[in-house]
Structure 1
Amino acid sequence: MDRRNFLKVVAGATVIAVNPSLIRGNLYAADGALYQTYEKAQLVDAAGKPIKASALAKEVTYIFNYPYASTPCMLINLPQPTDKEVTLKSDSGETYVWKSGVGKERTIVSYVAICTHQMTHPTPNDSFIGYVPKAKKTMAYDKSGIIVCSSHLSAFDAGAGAKVLGGAATQPLASVVLEVAADDTIWAIGVLGQDKFHDYFKEFRPELKEFYGGPAEAKKLVSISAKTVKLTEYSKEIIQY
């Protein structure tokens, strides 16, 4: 996200315009946090080389862990520019505004890859959640080019803040706020929307031990950089309906 762009948060009748890079802490509406900043992290490839926005393949699901060592997020370069100023609402009644995609063509988006229905997420073993390219079909919705959780066929609009299109989910995926720097590098700076991190840590303790050594390691905040790989490299098996 360009530093000149602003994130608008709607809380009742009050509109607050803020620069995400300058926030340290939470923005609150009536019922809870809408946006939280974390340590700024540069997206890098498996070799530690900075990923350039212009080099991202179209309609490929990339995965990086942020803001915690164990919380997977999706990075997608969509085939067309995203919507702008999308108003979304969480299950707890919070209303917030998803600004748009980033990059020169406004096509790059990122969302926390933990389904808001029952927290299905990618693991090193398998993944039931990911982006379905326009050329493929999905049982979850009548159109593709969307994010689908194949566990219960929840569908999310990748170009509109991951708002729910269908299925069992009742609120959008939380989005990762990105910045694209002047040198075309990509940085994660925070999370917008109602996240599932606390419930995720509680529900998947055995998994956190298996893949990350335990809850303490899994809950470490990511800083400096976040390794980013294709979903097909992150998970051994991809299940998509």
Structure 2
Amino acid sequence: MERRGFLSACAAVAGASQIGVLSEVWAVAAAPYAGTPCFLLDLGRPVVAARELLRADGSAYDWSGGVGPSRSIVAYSAICAHKLAYPTREVSFIRFQPDRSPTSDGDVIHCCADHSVYDPSAGARVMSGPAPQPLAAIVLEYDPERDALAAIGTVGAEQFDAFFHKYDFKLALEYGQGHARQPAGDTTVVRELAQYCRQTIRC
């Protein structure tokens, strides 16, 4: 996708003061498209920029770090970089995992489909598993006067075309033909993951 197209459909996602409560159960919003979920997280500590993250093709990019009053809020595409697993209304194999589990550390994004683990405090770089690249990052902008967040773009390895191709039939049934590809609107609803889908797989 072109950055300009997403900028013209800038999506205000939530007041920053509200995210901390949601992050305990993993907030999900639609960005940059109506049918592409993203994780919106307050990690509870300042998150510094990450340099020289690598896409699967070897090209490098930088990630600007957290935003908000404490620079602790981050957002990433919730589409796994391995086989494009994502949170559906029925089930989610990918989630933010605050606590250590038998298969990974805590404070990670863990996809239980094939055990790809990402570090949300470092641009969602791959910590372990078969994913060939980090999750795409949603670029956030914080307005302190309004205590408002806006998604203004993406950075990293975008896989949206591959996602829409793989799940075309399913997304058409859920959103209507072509609607999942529409840019997220001026505002998008932020939900706890438990409210977004019926079952979250833990591993």
Q: Equivalences for 1:188-203 in 2 at 5 Å? A: 188-203=151-166
Letter matched to residue 174 of structure 2: F
Aligned to 2:77: 112
- The structure that has the greater radius of gyration is 1
Match status 1:169 vs 2:127:
no
Match status 1:146 vs 2:111:
no
Question: In structure 2, what is the Cα distance between the partners aligned to 1:105 and 1:201?
Answer: 35
What's the secondary structure of 2:162's corresponding residue? helix
Aligned residues: 199
Q: CA RMSD in A?
A: 1.8
Letter matched to residue 9 of structure 2: E
Report if the CA contact (8 A) 1:140-1:167 is conserved: no
- Give the 3 Å change call, closer, same or farther, for CA 24–209 of structure 1 in structure 2: closer
| Aligned residue among 11, 31, 39 for 1:41 | 11
Cα distance, 1:200 vs. partner? 0.5
Structure with the higher fraction of residues in strand conformation:
1
Cα distance, 1:55 vs. partner? 2.1
- The ranges of structure 1 where at least 4 consecutive aligned residues each deviate by more than 3 angstroms after the TM superposition are 23-26
Aligned to 2:32: 67
- Give the 3 Å change call, closer, same or farther, for CA 194–71 of structure 1 in structure 2: same
- Give the 3 Å change call, closer, same or farther, for CA 38–194 of structure 1 in structure 2: farther
What's the secondary structure of 2:171's corresponding residue? helix
TM-score by length of 2: 0.92
Question: In structure 2, what is the Cα distance between the partners aligned to 1:78 and 1:127?
Answer: 21
Aligned to 1:87: 52
| Aligned residue among 53, 66, 70 for 1:101 | 66
Identity over aligned pairs, percent: 34
Unaligned runs of 5+ in 2: none
Structure with the higher fraction of residues in helix conformation:
2
TM-score by length of 1: 0.78
Cα distance, 1:196 vs. partner? 0.9
Cα distance, 1:38 vs. partner? 5.4
Unaligned runs of 5+ in 1: 1-22, 27-35, 44-50
